[in-house]
Amino acid sequence: MTETTAARIREKHGIKMTLDNSELVKECNIVFIAVKPHLVQPVLQAIPNWDASRHLVVSLAACVSLDTYSCLLSQHTHVIRLALNTGAGVLACSSAMAVTASVTQAESDLVQSLMNSVGTCLPVEEKHVDIVSSLSGCGMAYILLVAEALADGGQEAGLKKRIGLELAAQTLIATGKSILEYKDVHVSQLKDNVCSPGGITVKGLHSLEKNGVRNAFLDAVEIGVKTHTEYAHKFAVKK
């Protein structure tokens, strides 16, 4: 970010801006680390004035463990690790958070409340954070592929692509709302509720299963978890 960009944001939103990370840490009690994982270590080490008793560190960096933050800062530093997706841009983020033992309930509640303002945030054990990233983080791309494929099918049958995309998007919204609102109903039952014996939907589902769609999604999540784990080892810092 340049000083010109900072000035524009400052003027437009009334936000206090600085390009000096040390000054930022001096002025703020809650610090969000929102950089690529390979930049976490140099960014943290370039800031000399961390105070474990005052600062709450909230990490958005993928594949960087809580232990790594403890090694880079202090084992007493309050750190919350978030896994989130780009749904935050439309206030529909699905995220999860894991915390160090030093994080207070008030701090945890505050960050969860912030994340709930742009979607939903669920507390999880840290060992599950990479699974969340693989499922809901990467999952948006997988579901966008589904939407695109549905629209392509509609286009092949004669529908305009834009109309097909809008219909696919609304179908995905309705599906997600059904899962969330009918939590006592198993997802398989929700699926069966759309089907009629010998009907069109049953035949379509048969085609999807025959072509391995379910296993393809299972493999995608599994590969995502494996890759996250590999990167986590790569970026780990130990004393």
Residue 3 — very low, low, confident or very high, per pLDDT cuts 50/70/90? confident
Q: Sign of the C-alpha dihedral, residues 6, 9, 15, 21? A: negative
pLDDT value at residue 75: 84
Of 2-6, 186-190, 220-224, the range with the lowest mean pLDDT is 2-6
Residue 50 — very low, low, confident or very high, per pLDDT cuts 50/70/90? confident
Which residue from 134, 155, 144 is spatially nearest to 222, judged by alpha carbons? 134
SS3 85: coil
Distance CA 235, CA 213 (A): 33
The pLDDT tens digits for 79-119 are 999 999 999 999 999 999 999 999 999 999 999 999 999 99
Distance CA 15, CA 83 (A): 25
Give me the residue label for tokens 């960096």.
61
The pLDDT tens digits for 145-196 are 999 999 999 999 999 999 999 999 999 999 999 999 999 999 999 999 999 9
Judge contact between 194 and 200, C-beta under 8 A.
no
pLDDT value at residue 51: 86
- How far does the chain reach from its first CA to its final CA, in angstroms? 33
pLDDT value at residue 239: 66
Average pLDDT over residues 65-69: 94
The pLDDT tens digits for 5-48 are 988 988 999 988 888 899 989 889 999 999 999 999 999 998 88
Query: Could you tell me whether strands 56-59 and 30-33 are parallel, antiparallel, or unpaired per DSSP bridges?
Result: parallel
Give me the residue label for tokens 């305009």.
160
Is the whole-model pTM more than 0.85? yes
Question: Residue type for 134, please?
Answer: S
Distance CA 231, CA 63 (A): 6
Judge contact between 84 and 59, C-beta under 8 A.
no
Of 51-55, 112-116, 235-239, the range with the lowest mean pLDDT is 235-239
DSSP code per residue over 21-69:
HHHHHHH-SEEEE-S-HHHHHHHHHT-----TTT-EEEE--TT--HHHH
Judge contact between 7 and 17, C-beta under 8 A.
yes
Q: For the chain, how long is the longest CA-to-CA vector?
A: 68
Residue 4 burial (CB count, 10 A):
8
Residues making up the chain, counted from first to last: 239
